[in-house]
């Protein structure tokens, strides 16, 4: 793996990081500019659709005949991004699992604070099941806030008595909106993107007076018992590293099968930089193999 690649990426991210004092509308504009400059591979198709009442983006890779579905939750601290902006990274997950990806366009804060995103995520999953998808053919995936939302949706689905999917893959999960992780401080200098300050500015947009330690807001505090296998990836150069570690520990303590995969020297959601970072492609390959194995195993059990 290339030290030069990591150093170049760090420099680029430090130059492009959002100003801490910028408001939501400005951050949304900057993110749109950033994602619009990134083209999708020619063999990837993205189509607007819906699961029940929830808008989604259906992402398919040409040449595959997917039997499996990845229900994907985008990042953006619950206030930024959309289902289409996540298509580049989501398609890489689909490519490696030979699955169709359905990216959920859940409502965003501050216009729609908690529990809007949680409700939309569960409604999308319930609609997918209602349309005939077998739980054993479904996996969840997500990055950052979407990773936290994926875990919260597993917990929420369990509480509502819905059958759970085969597995979940989360990248740099934002799983503690109380911002209590020790790496908020110990990784402060190493993280080129995030800090306690720029996260805190958006927490209240989402929680809107609710306790940030509620399990469906911060799944690091939730009861994770009975969940399907989890694949958790993070980089060592991110303030949210401790979210991933504590989430994995919480899952393991609850007898959930969990794989914690930490890549040294890389930033938050480093997988998104797969075109320029060897570690990103390698991590996606590892996750794809595990996710495919869990889907195949669940399929055998269901049969």
* Per-residue CA distances from 163 to 92, 129, 159, 225 (Å): 26, 9, 10, 14
CA distance 272 to 16: 15
Instruction: Give the chain's end-to-end CA distance (angstroms, integer).
Output: 41
- DSSP type of residue 194: -
With beta carbons less than 8 A apart as the criterion, state whether 129 and 163 touch: yes
CA distance 303 to 196: 47
CA distance 70 to 288: 11
Q: Is 232 exposed, middle or buried (0-12, 13-18, 19+ CB in 10 A)?
A: buried
Active site residues: 144, 238, 268
In the numeric block, which tokens belong to residue 293?
């194995």
């Amino acid at each position: 793996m290339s030290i030069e690649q990591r150093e170049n990426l760090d420099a680029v991210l430090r130059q492009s990081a959002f100003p801490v004092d910028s408001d939501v509308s400005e951050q949304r504009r900057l993110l749109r500019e950033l994602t619009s400059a990134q083209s999708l591979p020619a063999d990837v198709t993205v189509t607007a659709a819906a699961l029940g009442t929830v808008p989604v983006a259906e992402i398919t890779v040409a040449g595959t005949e997917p039997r499996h579905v990845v229900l994907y939750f985008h990042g953006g601290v619950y206030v930024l991004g959309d289902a289409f902006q996540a298509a580049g990274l989501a398609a890489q997950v689909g490519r490696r699992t030979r699955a169709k990806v359905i990216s959920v366009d859940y409502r965003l804060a501050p216009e729609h604070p908690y529990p809007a995103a949680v409700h939309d995520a569960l409604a999308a999953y319930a609609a997918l099941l209602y349309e005939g998808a077998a739980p054993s053919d479904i996996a969840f995936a997500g990055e950052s806030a979407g990773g936290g939302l994926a875990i919260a949706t597993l917990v929420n689905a369990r509480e509502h008595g819905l059958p759970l999917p085969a597995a979940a893959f989360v990248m740099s999960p934002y799983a503690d909106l109380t911002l209590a992780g020790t790496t908020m401080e110990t990784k402060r200098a190493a993280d080129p993107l995030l800090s306690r300050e720029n996260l805190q500015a958006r927490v209240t947009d989402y929680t809107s007076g609710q306790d940030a330690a509620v399990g469906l807001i911060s799944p690091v505090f939730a009861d994770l018992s009975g969940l399907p296998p989890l694949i958790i990836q993070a980089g060592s150069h991110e303030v949210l590293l401790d979210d991933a570690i504590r989430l994995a520990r919480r899952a393991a303590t609850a007898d959930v099968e969990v794989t914690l995969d930490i890549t040294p020297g890389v930033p938050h959601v480093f997988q998104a930089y797969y075109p320029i970072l060897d570690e990103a492609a390698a991590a996606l390959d590892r996750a794809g193999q595990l996710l495919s194995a869990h889907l195949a195993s669940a399929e055998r059990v269901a049969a």
